[in-house]
A and B are shown apart, each in its own frame.
Chain A
Amino acid sequence: QQPVQSPQAVILREGEDAVINCSSSKALYSVHWYRQKHGEAPVFLMILLKGGEQKGHEKISASFNEKKQQSSLYLTASQLSYSGTYFCGTGLDKLIFGTGTRLQVFP
Chain B
Amino acid sequence: EPEVTQTPSHQVTQMGQEVILRCVPISNHLYFYWYRQILGQKVEFLVSFYNNEISEKSEIFDDQFSVERPDGSNFTLKIRSTKLEDSAMYFCASSVTANTGELFFGEGSRLTVL
Contacts and interface: CB of A to CB of B under 8 A. Distances in A.
B102 A97 contact: no
B3 to A, nearest CB: 10
19 contacts: A2-B42, A32-B103, A41-B107, A41-B108, A42-B43, A42-B103, A44-B102, A47-B102, A87-B43, A89-B103, A92-B98, A93-B48, A93-B55, A94-B33, A94-B48, A94-B55, A95-B99, A97-B44, A97-B45
Contact of B42 (A29, A92, A99): A99
B22 to A, nearest CB: 16
A100 B43 CA distance: 9
Contacts of A29: 99
A49 interface: yes
Interface of B: 33, 35, 42-45, 48, 55-56, 58, 91, 98-108
Interface of A: 2, 29-30, 32, 34, 36, 40-44, 47, 49, 87, 89, 91-100
A83 B22 CA distance: 30
| Majority DSSP secondary structure for residues of B touching A | loop
Nearest to B102: A44
A89 B101 CA distance: 12
Contacts of B33: 94-95
Contacts of B99: 29-30, 91-95
